[in-house]
A and B are shown apart, each in its own frame.
Chain A
Amino acid sequence: MGKFLLMAVDYELLIRPNRSWLRIEWRDIFAYRDLLWQLVRRDFTSRFKQTVLGPLWFVINPLVTTVIFAVIFGRVMGSAPDGVPALLFFNAGLLAWNYFSSLLASTGATLHGNVGLFSKVYFPRLIVPIAQVFSNCIGLVVQFFTFGILVVFVWATDPAFANVQLGWRLLWLPWLLVHLAILALGSGLLLSAITAKYRDLQNIVAFIINSLMFITPVMWPLSALQTKFPNHYEYFMVLNPLVSIVEAFRLALIGVGSFSLGYYAVSVLVSVFCLLAGLMLFQRAARTFVDQA
């Protein structure tokens, strides 16, 4: 009894209209850390159980896309750089792109996709998008595995493999993934806050993701852009933070691509800005959005 009263007095929670710009309930997020892992586990189990092919789907999907890209863009359009195995070129770009786009799509649906849950129980809403950062790594790991198999396949069959440099740049990967996650999470939170308020904008999320893919060097190398638009390509790099990340990602994986520290720094800045703006708007929207639901 005494213990309970003591605990009770120690802890006081004030609920009142909030007016601060950026408030993150760190203490609650820490207290709910077990929920984070339960959500990741839920995504893991349910994704594997829901599809007929289970985990195999994570392999088949990027593999088929890679082959299509290699045929259409590599052979028909000739957009793959010379002397590099097209399969590895496209697969490396898709690796980064798939993680980014799936994370963006899932975090972008956080609020309107969880109305039922959020209107019945409190927990720090940020837990859900943070859990997505980890859940989406499941697909990423499987894709890395696929990439490994492709490397072996190309090494055994394609003489162009000699131009692939697998080396010390692989050490960049962990940071590049963190960078991708920051950008995807930030823009996902932004989209989520906006679509929670304006339901009619939900439809444009898919459109945004589609368009982003075309203006990001997934199906083409940055070098092609540089040759076609020698004077204007920098706008791309400054306005689309993904360009530098995907290019660096491919450089790290297969040693093909260009890297400029200046543009990369801009990309980091834009990503951090996205994250801050996303957090701010998301936290504001999350506080009362169930009132409109």
Chain B
Amino acid sequence: MIQPMISVRGVSKRYRLGSIGMTSLRDELQQMFRPKTEANASDFWALRDVSFDLPAGSATGIIGRNGAGKSTLLKLLSRITEPTSGEISLRGRVGSLLEVGTGFHPELSGRDNIYLNGAILGMSHAQIRAKFDEIVEFSEVEQFLDTPVKRYSSGMYVKLAFAIAAHLEPEILIIDEVLAVGDSAFQRKCINKMQEISASHGRTVLFVSHAMATIRRLCKQCVLLEKGRSLGLMPTERAIEHYSISGASSDLVLDVSERNRDWGTDGAEARILSVAVAGDGHIRFNAPLEIEIVVRASRAIEGMMLGFSFSTVEGQRILTLDSDGDGKTFDLREGRTVLRVRLDRLPLHPARYYVSAALGRVKYFDDIIDSFALWEVETSTEDFESDRSYGGCRITPRLELTPVAG
């Protein structure tokens, strides 16, 4: 039996919350004279007893929400820091890309930086020389090769940086969400290159990203992390499913008043309190949709708007419903108000969608609740074509036939 290329056995990593940030001798001395209280209260386990084995020649995604421990796992695998307990064995040379352009020196030319950055990433001089022309060609900056990189545009800078990284040839490659660099054409080129790398000669690739579409494209299997624990290695589709469900509710009636906002402060003048889908508890394609939103304003406000958006589980926004789409705003009185959003025909193709809502004025938002729910759009009797599974939105156009003589 072939041994696994990467094997992670019972790995935990603890951070002392007190020691994040500046440590100073003064703090330490003060600590010494302080009575010993609960010493473990400030411990934070970024990873707890994580185990998995990866065979050679596989591309594996690591997914999880923010704070699930993805970055910590990458740091351990790429030897930037050590685990608190447990063991990782890697049966191959490791190259890791947690950032593009690490160690670039602004004063040096593009040519010198290729050699410097390549060496930092673990390539030998001979390897870089052998790949030099390929790197330059991929980077699209050959005209500026002898210009100091401080004069590069940020686009040129990341292109060169990615080009170097993409030509690393370790047996194990660890990549953080760094591909999305440059313009969209270059991004596509990057992703193609990543696919090429992970498909070539039994190389083992570990890939961390929030972009589910990219994960789906590059990885057959995923390790799913949740709050520092591993939910195990599973096929990508199942992992994404799992990932999508965790965190967002599929309830059609939701009290969102206590939900943590990434955006908006407690002092905001208008807040969304609850969101509910009216009707029989189903959302159906091509059927009418009515959403009831309760908002509260701390004073009378003029010129308000309400917005809804639907995004795919990959995070791509696919439908926006803004109440001021035609330039019309509404006024809120002090206190609670019920707002009803109606759509005669919901054009969303049957699937699951993240729903976000926003309440605001022309210039700024009072409240945004991002991806507060994961709603399923079902097929309906109105759906005559749901087996034609294309696209996210479907609207039946008006058709006009004009017979032409002759």
A121 within 8 A of B: yes
Interface residues of A in 87-146 (CB under 8 A from B): 116-123
Chain A residue at minimal CB-CB distance from B117: A38
**Which single member of A9, A120, A122, A123 contacts B3 (CB below 8 Å)?**
A9
**Which single member of B24, B28, B86, B171 contacts A8 (CB below 8 Å)?**
B171
- For residue B86, which residues in chain A have a CB less than 8 angstroms away from its CB? 16
Do A13 and B56 touch across chains, with their CB atoms under 8 A apart? no
Say which one of B73-81, B218-226, B319-327 lies at the interface with A: B73-81
- For residue B91, which residues in chain A have a CB less than 8 angstroms away from its CB? 8-9, 11-13
Beyond A42-B112, A200-B24, A200-B26, whether A123 also contacts B90 by CB under 8 A is: no
Chain B residue at minimal CB-CB distance from A194: B25
Q: How far is the CA of A119 from the CA of B99 in the complex (A)?
A: 10
Do A12 and B90 touch across chains, with their CB atoms under 8 A apart? yes
Say which one of A44-52, A63-71, A226-234, A243-251 lies at the interface with B: A44-52
A261 within 8 A of B: no
Do A14 and B80 touch across chains, with their CB atoms under 8 A apart? no
Beyond A5-B56, A32-B119, A42-B108, whether A117 also contacts B3 by CB under 8 A is: no
Chain B residue at minimal CB-CB distance from A35: B119
**Which single member of B23, B103, B123 contacts A292 (CB below 8 Å)?**
B23
B86 to chain A, nearest CB (A): 7
Say which one of A74-82, A211-219, A283-291 lies at the interface with B: A283-291
A201 to chain B, nearest CB (A): 6
A53 within 8 A of B: no
B34 within 8 A of A: no
Q: How far is the CA of A118 from the CA of B105 in the complex (A)?
A: 15
Do A14 and B87 touch across chains, with their CB atoms under 8 A apart? yes
Beyond A200-B26, A291-B15, A292-B20, whether A123 also contacts B87 by CB under 8 A is: no
- Chief secondary structure at chain A's binding surface: helix
- For residue A16, which residues in chain B have a CB less than 8 angstroms away from its CB? 82-83, 86-88
Do B107 and A13 touch across chains, with their CB atoms under 8 A apart? no
Do A122 and B119 touch across chains, with their CB atoms under 8 A apart? no
**Which single member of A37, A50, A122 contacts B80 (CB below 8 Å)?**
A122
Chain A residue at minimal CB-CB distance from B21: A292
Do A288 and B119 touch across chains, with their CB atoms under 8 A apart? no
**Which single member of A8, A34, A123 contacts B125 (CB below 8 Å)?**
A34
Q: How large is the interface on A (under 10, 10 to 19, 20 to 34, 35 or more residues)?
A: 35 or more
B75 to chain A, nearest CB (A): 8
Q: How many residues of B contact A (CB 8 A)?
A: 57
Chain A residue at minimal CB-CB distance from B79: A122
Chain A residue at minimal CB-CB distance from B171: A8
- For residue A5, which residues in chain B have a CB less than 8 angstroms away from its CB? 2, 56, 202
**Which single member of B3, B15, B25 contacts A198 (CB below 8 Å)?**
B25
Q: How far is the CA of A117 from the CA of B120 in the complex (A)?
A: 9
Chain A residue at minimal CB-CB distance from B115: A38
A18 within 8 A of B: yes
Do B202 and A50 touch across chains, with their CB atoms under 8 A apart? no
Q: How far is the CA of A15 from the CA of B99 in the complex (A)?
A: 22
A68 to chain B, nearest CB (A): 31
Q: How far is the CA of A292 from the CA of B87 in the complex (A)?
A: 22
Q: How far is the CA of A36 from the CA of B119 in the complex (A)?
A: 9
A179 within 8 A of B: no
Interface residues of A in 1-43 (CB under 8 A from B): 1, 4-5, 7-9, 11-18, 31-32, 34-35, 37-39, 41-42
Do A117 and B20 touch across chains, with their CB atoms under 8 A apart? no
Q: How far is the CA of A155 from the CA of B359 in the complex (A)?
A: 86
Q: How far is the CA of A44 from the CA of B81 in the complex (A)?
A: 30
Do B88 and A15 touch across chains, with their CB atoms under 8 A apart? yes
Chain A residue at minimal CB-CB distance from B72: A291
B92 within 8 A of A: yes
Chain B residue at minimal CB-CB distance from A25: B79
- For residue A45, which residues in chain B have a CB less than 8 angstroms away from its CB? 107-108, 112
Do B116 and A42 touch across chains, with their CB atoms under 8 A apart? yes
B102 within 8 A of A: yes
A197 within 8 A of B: yes
Beyond A11-B93, A14-B89, A200-B24, whether A34 also contacts B202 by CB under 8 A is: no
Chain A residue at minimal CB-CB distance from B176: A120
Beyond A5-B2, A41-B112, whether A15 also contacts B83 by CB under 8 A is: yes
Interface residues of A (CB under 8 A from B): 1, 4-5, 7-9, 11-18, 31-32, 34-35, 37-39, 41-42, 45-46, 49-50, 116-123, 197-201, 287-288, 290-292
30 CB < 8 A contacts A-B? A4-B202, A5-B56, A7-B92, A11-B91, A11-B92, A13-B90, A15-B76, A15-B79, A15-B87, A16-B82, A17-B84, A17-B85, A35-B120, A35-B122, A38-B116, A38-B119, A42-B116, A45-B107, A46-B105, A50-B107, A117-B102, A118-B80, A121-B98, A122-B79, A198-B24, A199-B23, A199-B24, A200-B24, A288-B81, A292-B20
**A-B contacts besides A16-B86, A38-B116, 19 pairs, CB < 8 Å:** A4-B171, A4-B202, A5-B56, A12-B90, A13-B91, A14-B88, A15-B83, A16-B82, A41-B112, A41-B116, A45-B108, A46-B105, A117-B103, A120-B80, A121-B103, A122-B80, A122-B94, A197-B23, A291-B15
